[in-house]
């Protein structure tokens, strides 16, 4: 049975003493990120204990992508049983019009129908369906959410930027080097970029990463907004620098708050987004994108320079036919590289770790921890 998330009770912030692989995170402390607001967290119904084989779902509707992950708890985390991702460009033209346009809405609703059907087939009992920057910024964002509820029976939850940053950290912090005393984690989205500074060395692989957060921010720029303002089809080195300069200006308050980040022993960057995974695929010269090879990949600073230089030299057609980019991302990839470059200049690091995981994984881990699935298995 499909569960409409908006009708369900709220999830409490729970610290799981046996959460696997430190992928789940408890409420954070430090500079305003104290865990997601209570009103922003929802989950499936409590009709007795959730069985070990129960399906959980997490949906992330962003400015550019609609992504679904369905999973079941396993001994050391969760096992993905189905996934879906489609570029819908919900935020297309939003910066100029402040409205979600009709074509973008239709594309997105069609993708959400696919997600609904997949959740029904897999018997999802617990779910959280979130919408981010496009719906936050659009004047008709609430109307769109109501239409989704009326037409396809899914209750989307428009989360604020603090919640989005929390989930980004929760979903990918397990890939931070446990020996590093400082890590800057970022998630480059379609309409916003979330960034957080984790200070202090992780006490153990099971330690709560959000307790290390000392500063965070959500920049109102993503690959779609930057590409629309500066042009994504034809990108010169001059226009690329213009993109970097815009993002660098917006990044300054966070750069000031986290000024000590890059001076700590073992400091590195940890990025999750289509931008960094694309760079990883290009670096590995993959004939087609392979998540198993990209998730967790380390890239040196000079290797990132080389890949970005390669991309700037490619024209739009060459980017569109590249097996790790494709036509859907060809006009966005350099905008994403400009955001990455601004972060790298603000926080120089000899290495970057790439995460092909993020919000959805964070949602799933939090839902499963709330149900105590690993504590039951332990007993």
Quote the CA–CA distance of 210 and 26 in Å, as a whole number.
Answer: 7
Q: How many CA atoms lie within 13 A of 10 on its CB side?
A: 9
Angle, CA 295 vertex, CA 230 and CA 216 arms, to 5°: 55
Concatenated DSSP letters of 173-203:
GGGS-TT-SEEEEEEE-SS-EEEEEEES--S
pLDDT of residue 7: 29
pLDDT of residue 30: 31
Three-state secondary structure call for residue 265: coil
**272 pLDDT above the threshold of 90:** yes
Quick one: pLDDT band at residue 355, thresholds 50, 70, 90?
A: very high
215: phi > 0 → left, psi -120 to 50 → alpha, else beta; which? beta
pLDDT of residue 336: 97
153: phi > 0 → left, psi -120 to 50 → alpha, else beta; which? left
**85 pLDDT above the threshold of 80:** yes
Quote the CA–CA distance of 44 and 47 in Å, as a whole number.
Answer: 9
pLDDT in tens, 173-185: 889 998 999 999 9
Q: Which CATH superfamily is domain 5-162+360-378 in?
A: ATPase, nucleotide binding domain (3.30.420.40)
200: phi > 0 → left, psi -120 to 50 → alpha, else beta; which? left
pLDDT of residue 200: 85
**64 pLDDT above the threshold of 80:** yes
233-247 burial, b at 16+ Cβ within 10 Å, e below that, comes to eebeeebbebbbebb
83-100 average pLDDT score: 92
Quote the CA–CA distance of 7 and 45 in Å, as a whole number.
Answer: 9
Q: Which CATH superfamily is domain 176-359 in?
A: Exopolyphosphatase. Domain 2 (3.30.420.150)
What percent of the chain is predicted at pLDDT more than 90? 69
Give the β-pairing of 268-272 and 193-199: unpaired
The rounded mean pLDDT for the chain is: 84
Same CATH fold assignment for domains 5-162+360-378 and 176-359: yes
pLDDT in tens, 119-136: 999 999 999 999 999 999
Helix (H) or strand (E) holding 209: none
Quick one: pLDDT band at residue 14, thresholds 50, 70, 90?
A: very low
Range in 33-42, 282-291, 322-331 with the lowest mean pLDDT: 33-42
Q: How many residues does the chain have?
A: 379
pLDDT in tens, 238-256: 999 999 999 999 999 999 9
Angle, CA 207 vertex, CA 167 and CA 354 arms, to 5°: 50
pLDDT of residue 378: 57
Write phi, then psi, for 281 (nearest 5 degrees): -65, -40
Give the β-pairing of 124-131 and 55-61: parallel
CA neighbor of 350 nearest in space, from 311, 298, 287, 275: 298
Query: Taking the domains of the chain in order of start, what are their residue ranges?
Result: 5-162+360-378, 176-359
> Which residues are 129's β-sheet partners?
59
**206 pLDDT above the threshold of 60:** no
**36 pLDDT above the threshold of 70:** no
Report pTM.
0.80
177 neighbors 353 (Cβ within 8 angstroms): yes
């Amino acid at each position: 049975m499909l569960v409409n998330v908006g009708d369900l009770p709220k999830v409490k912030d729970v610290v799981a003493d046996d959460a696997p692989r430190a992928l789940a995170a408890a409420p954070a402390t430090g500079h305003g990120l104290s865990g997601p607001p209570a009103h922003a967290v929802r989950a499936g119904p409590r009709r007795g204990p959730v069985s070990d084989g129960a399906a959980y779902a997490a949906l992330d509707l962003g400015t550019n992508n609609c992504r679904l992950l369905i999973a079941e708890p396993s001994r050391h985390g969760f096992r993905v049983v189905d996934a879906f991702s489609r570029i819908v460009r919900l935020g297309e033209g939003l910066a100029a019009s402040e409205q979600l346009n009709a074509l973008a809405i239709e594309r997105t609703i069609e993708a959400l129908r696919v997600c609904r059907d997949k959740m029904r087939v897999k018997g999802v009992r617990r779910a959280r369906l979130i919408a981010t920057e496009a719906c936050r910024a659009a004047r008709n964002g609430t109307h769109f959410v109501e239409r989704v509820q009326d037409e396809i029976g899914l209750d989307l939850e428009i989360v604020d930027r603090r919640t989005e940053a929390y989930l980004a950290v929760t979903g990918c912090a397990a890939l931070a080097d446990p020996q590093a005393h400082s890590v800057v984690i970022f998630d480059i989205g379609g309409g916003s970029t979330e960034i957080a500074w984790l200070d202090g060395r992780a006490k153990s692989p099971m330690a709560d990463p959000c307790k290390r957060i000392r500063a965070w921010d959500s920049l109102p720029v993503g690959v779609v907004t930057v590409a629309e303002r500066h042009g994504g089809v034809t990108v010169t080195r001059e226009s690329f620098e213009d993109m970097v300069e815009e993002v660098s200006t917006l990044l300054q308050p966070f750069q000031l708050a986290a000024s000590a980040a890059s001076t700590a022993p073992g400091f590195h960057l940890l990025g999750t987004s289509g931008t960094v995974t694309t760079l990883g695929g290009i670096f590995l010269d993959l004939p087609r994108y392979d998540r198993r090879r990209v998730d967790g990949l380390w890239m040196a600073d000079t290797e990132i320079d080389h890949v970005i230089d390669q991309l700037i030299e490619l024209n739009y057609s060459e980017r569109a036919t590249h097996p790790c980019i494709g036509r859907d991302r060809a006009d966005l990839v350099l905008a994403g590289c400009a955001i990455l470059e601004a972060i790298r200049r603000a926080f120089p690091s000899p290495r970057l770790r790439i995460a092909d995981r993020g919000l959805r994984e964070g949602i799933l881990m939090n839902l499963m921890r709330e149900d105590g699935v690993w504590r039951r298995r332990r007993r």
